[in-house]
Amino acid sequence: MLIKIARPSDCQASEITPESLYLSRRAVLGASLAGIAAGALPGMALGAEPSRYADAAPGAAPGWFTDKLGTARWQAITVKDEPITPFKDATHYNNFYEFGTDKGDPAANAGSLKTEPWSLVVDGEVAKPGRYALEDFVKPYQLEERIYRLRCVEAWSMVIPWLGFSLAEVLKQVEPTSKARYLRFETLQDPKSMPGQRSSFALIDWPYVEGLRLDEAMNPLAILAVGMYGRELPNQNGAPLRLIVPWKYGFKSIKSIVRISLVAERPTTTWESLAPTEYGFYANVNPTVDHPRWTQARERRLPSGLFSPNVRDTLMFNGYADEVASLYSGLDLRKNY
Ligand SMILES: Nc1nc2c(c(=O)[nH]1)N[C@H]1C(S)=C(S)[C@@H](COP(=O)(O)O)O[C@H]1N2
Ligand SMILES: [Mo]
């Protein structure tokens, strides 16, 4: 059941909490959000290399990551004149429903996620399917720093320095067949370490699934990230491997990926299947197509507070129109939101 609320006239945090609001209204049907286990803070061990970002907590990177960092291309893509969001905000204001629906839940609970060893399956319509240990999967690719805007469908945004590699390069290696038209990504399903998957009111049909058209996935902006702020990904940000598609709303950027399948049909994705009138398959950032419950014309850039809300205009394709608009020529973006 969808509960409609009055459309706010501007971006106010108190009114715009769509994904979590949607869930918490459902949760009212039950008692409280039970089953959320406390965990240690992830990735806070000592002894790692000092980060290039002074405010970033050092991680406890696995050896393969530290090796890759040595040959990383720093600032391969950057955002001009927009400061990078403080590490603290990027790691303590998260959406990762496997660990709870409040913004602070992932940081508090994701310590239980075991990211080593990690294996990844690539299958479906590819000439070279395989199951890889993460370090073997990552080995062939050039690590690059990509400083991108991240725009959540909830109308807040950040600027985050990711470390990752080109998804197009991965596709070249696995060789999609002529039948492959879409990618389907799947997050880990492990109720033992993911309290959100144990919650009896969770309406998400786990595992979390996302998808892209093959030509979108081939766009040079699309990356698989293994790090941020000069270090490995903190668990709450989707360790050890996540998708980043900066011209789309944040929910497309699926975390903690265990499977990538090349498929002929458009995959059924998590938020689209939950509320198809609110969250589309494309989910391209578009200030001219409002969410049914709030405007998408503006966004709160974090850090954002009561006295300095830091509201700015949302840009078409999140500011990446030059790079991606041609993917959608001839497509009605009002219908294909
Ligand atoms: N598996 C999984 N991936 C996910 C989500 C989630 O709940 N589960 N939330 C999405 C949403 S709504 C956003 S805005 C981004 C947030 O990424 P960040 O926490 O690193 O900023 O992750 C996306 N990826
Ligand atoms: Mo989001």
- Pocket lining for ligand 1, CB < 6 angstroms: 19, 94-98, 150, 152, 187, 208, 237-238, 250-251, 253-256
Q: 239: CA distance to ligand 2 center in Å?
A: 17
- Is 264 strand, coil or helix? coil
**Is the omega angle on the peptide bond into residue 207 within 30 degrees of 0, that is, cis?**
yes
Question: Using alpha carbons only, how large is the chain's radius of gyration in Å?
Answer: 19
Contact between 197 and 98 under an 8 Å Cβ cutoff? The reply is yes
- Residues 88, 93, 95: CA angle, nearest 5 degrees: 140
Q: Which of 180-184, 201-205, 304-308 shows the highest mean pLDDT?
A: 180-184
pLDDT, tens digit (0-9, with 9 covering 90-100), for 116-159? 999 999 999 999 999 999 999 999 999 999 999 999 999 999 99
**Strands 156-166, 130-133: pairing kind:** unpaired
Report, as an integer, the average pLDDT of 245-262.
99
Question: Average pLDDT, whole number, for the chain?
Answer: 89
pLDDT, tens digit (0-9, with 9 covering 90-100), for 58-91? 999 999 999 999 999 999 999 999 999 999 999 9
Ligand 1 atom at minimum distance from 188 CA: 1
Q: Residue 17 pLDDT > 80, yes or no? A: no
Q: 19: CA distance to ligand 2 center in Å?
A: 7
Q: Which of 3-7, 134-138, 200-204 shows the highest mean pLDDT?
A: 134-138
Please name the residue whose Cα sits nearest to atom 6 of ligand 1.
Answer: 96
Q: Residue 18 pLDDT > 80, yes or no? A: no
Q: 173: CA distance to ligand 2 center in Å?
A: 30
pLDDT, tens digit (0-9, with 9 covering 90-100), for 272-292? 999 999 999 999 999 999 999
pLDDT, tens digit (0-9, with 9 covering 90-100), for 157-180? 999 999 999 999 999 999 999 999
Please name the residue whose Cα sits nearest to atom 16 of ligand 1.
Answer: 95
pLDDT at 50: 52
Q: 49: CA distance to ligand 1 center in Å?
A: 27
Percent helix, strand and coil across the chain, each to the nearest 5: 25, 25, 55
Report, as an integer, the average pLDDT of 175-196.
98
Q: How far apart are CA 212 and CA 252, in angstroms?
A: 8
Q: Which CATH class is domain 77-328?
A: alpha beta
Contact between 209 and 268 under an 8 Å Cβ cutoff? The reply is yes
Question: In the chain, what percentage of residues exceed pLDDT 70?
Answer: 85
- For residue 228, what are the β-bridge partners? 162, 231
Please name the residue whose Cα sits nearest to atom 12 of ligand 1.
Answer: 251
Work out the pLDDT band at 22, boundaries 50, 70, 90: low
Q: 178: CA distance to ligand 1 center in Å?
A: 31
Q: Residue 322 pLDDT > 50, yes or no? A: yes
Handedness of CA 90, 91, 96, 97 (dihedral sign): negative
The domains of the chain are located at 77-328
H-type helices in the chain, by residue range? 18-27, 63-69, 87-92, 105-109, 134-138, 167-174, 214-217, 270-274, 321-324
Q: Which of 6-15, 54-63, 230-239 shows the highest mean pLDDT?
A: 230-239
Nearest Cα residue to 113 out of 202, 190, 205, 185: 190
Among 23, 88, 93, 95, residue to substitute to test ligand 1 (most atoms within 8 Å of Cβ): 95
- The backbone torsions φ and ψ at residue 146, rounded to the nearest 5 degrees and listed phi first, read -125, 110
User: Which two tokens mark 310?
Assistant: 């830091």
